[in-house]
Amino acid sequence: MRSQLIRNGIELYTGHARFVDDHTVLVEDQPRAEPVAVSGRYIVIATGTKPARPPGVEFDEEGVLDSDGILGLKFIPASWWWSAPE
């Protein structure tokens, strides 16, 4: 998703942000020394989360993936086979 946004000329800013007015967001990014004011007609805010990895489930990044692993797939599987334990 990130590479597709960048490829289409969308600027990405990561950090903590707050609205300054209807069309401006002040982004505080850890690596930058000063906050960055971002203005635009449209601003998309995408809040992120960390995937849940319950204890006892082994994520092997091939057959068992979390939401981040799925986004990193190089191909879409032709089919998905899953059998519930009896």
Say what the pLDDT of residue 26 is.
93
Q: One digit per residue, pLDDT tens: the chain, 86 residues?
A: 778 778 888 888 888 889 999 899 999 876 767 898 999 888 877 777 788 888 998 988 877 888 788 777 777 666 655 555 55
DSSP 18-77: EEEETTEEEEE-SSSSS-EEEE-S--------PPP--TT----SSSS--HHHHHT-SS--
> What does pTM read for this prediction?
0.47
Say what the pLDDT of residue 25 is.
92
Q: What is the pLDDT of residues 28-38, one digit of tens each?
A: 876 767 898 99
